[in-house]
Amino acid sequence: MATTTERPLRRDAERNRQRILETAGALFAERGLGVSLDEIARHAGVGVGTVYRRFPDKEQLIDALFEDRLAEILATANASLEMSDPWDALAHFIERSMELQVADRALKELLLSTTTAHARIEQGRRQIQPVVVAVLDRARRAGVVREDFDLSDLLLLQHAIGEAAEYTHEVAPEVWRRILCITMDGLRPDRRRPSPMPVPPLDEEQVDCTMREWGRRRRR
């Protein structure tokens, strides 16, 4: 970007910048965009001042981090579009983008909300949409997905399943795949038998633990 025109950072400064980016990426992924810059600084082993010198505010740090993550989703969508089977293409895209969202809470927050603040991310999302539309349309035209399934429903489903994933994240990080499985079965226009569930359900203790954890998190 513009870094080529400016004189390079001092060696230690550049190293710190990198550590901040890495740490911020990890913390955002785990806990969402709500993480404070102070906390990022602490985890990166630098002072807050250092963070603020490198990234004038939180928005710019976020922008710097997530541009390529969106590109990854775009690539996934494009890859799906090239798969031969229209249903496999749709299913692959949904599953893969859910995986990305589950692995990175901040990414999910950026994908499902709109802000004037993050212009570049906004633009990234706008590149993704038409490809998704294409994947969905192809499946619909091929008659492999229910006709009344709308693009907006996909958005809601992503949100819903993503939220379920977050709910059980500490206890059974893969159990959201069951919900996805049920949902995908619901998207088929007709079918003889349910798809096999990819993972076992929660046992009683896991349910308890999930609910307790969520209660704890809610009250901050």
Partner DNA sequence: TCCAAGTGGAGAAGGTCGCTCCGCTTCTGT
Partner DNA sequence: ACAGAAGCGGAGCGACCTTCTCCACTTGGA
Residues near DNA (CB under 7 A) are 9-13, 16, 34, 36-39, 45-50, 52-54, 57-58
Name the one range near a copy of itself by CB under 8 A: 9-17, 22-30, 94-102, 209-217. 209-217
b/e sequence 82-113, b meaning 16+ C-beta within 10 Å: ebeebbebbbbbbbbbbebbbebbbbbbbbee
Residue with tokens 């096999």: 196
Nearer to DNA, 36 or 195 (CB): 36
Contact pick of 43, 63, 72, 206 for a copy of itself (by CB under 8 A):
206
The entry of DNA, a copy of itself, none that residue 160 binds, CB within 5 to 8 Å by partner kind: a copy of itself
Which residue, 201, 208, 197, 179, is CA-closest to 98? 179
- What is the C-alpha to C-alpha distance for residues 31 and 107, in angstroms, rounded to an integer? 11
Of 9-17, 66-74, 93-101, 187-195: span binding a copy of itself (CB under 8 A): 187-195
Would you count residue 126 as binding a copy of itself (CB under 8 A)? no
Please state, in angstroms and rounded to a whole number, the distance separating the CA atoms of residues 79 and 114.
Answer: 25
Q: How many residues in the chain? A: 220
The amino acid present at 89, given as its one-letter code, is A
CA 21 to chain centre: 18
Q: Which does 83 bind (CB under 5 to 8 A by kind): a copy of itself, DNA, none?
A: none
* Binder of residue 199, out of DNA, a copy of itself, none (CB less than 5 to 8 A by kind): none
Report the distance separating Cα 178 and Cα 22, nearest Å.
31
Among a copy of itself, DNA, none, what does residue 126 contact (CB within 5–8 Å per kind)? none
Residues that bind a copy of itself (CB under 8 A): 33-34, 109, 112-115, 146, 148-153, 155-157, 159-161, 163-164, 167-168, 175-176, 178-179, 181-194, 196-197, 201-203, 206-208, 210-212, 214-215, 218
